[in-house]
Amino acid sequence: MSPAPGVLRVEWVPGSDQLLGTCHCGARQVAESPAEIWQWLLAHPEGHEPPPGPAAAPHPERERQPALHGS
């Protein structure tokens, strides 16, 4: 899922020391340093290649279905 136009996103990758940066163009990068990921994001379009296919690969945390509670 790409962020809204103009939105840059940095997320922690659970179970690791890594950060996932997603640019408003849909390009994604993983880094260990917050400074490194922000430098990459702010360098747009340098080093940014949109993901292959019509849309970015879904983020595993966003694929979870909400729990259904008793009716």
- Taking a C-beta distance cutoff of 8 angstroms, is the pair 22, 2 a contact? yes
| pLDDT for res 64 | 44
The pLDDT assigned to 38 comes to 92
Say what the pLDDT of residue 51 is: 63
- Read off the pLDDT of residues 3-60 as tens digits, 9 standing for 90 and up: 566 788 999 999 999 999 998 888 899 999 999 999 998 888 777 776 666 554 444 4
Q: What is the pLDDT of residue 54?
A: 57
Domain boundaries, the chain: 1-52
Q: Whole-structure pTM over 0.85, yes or no? A: no
Q: 45: left (phi > 0), else alpha (psi -120 to 50), else beta?
A: alpha
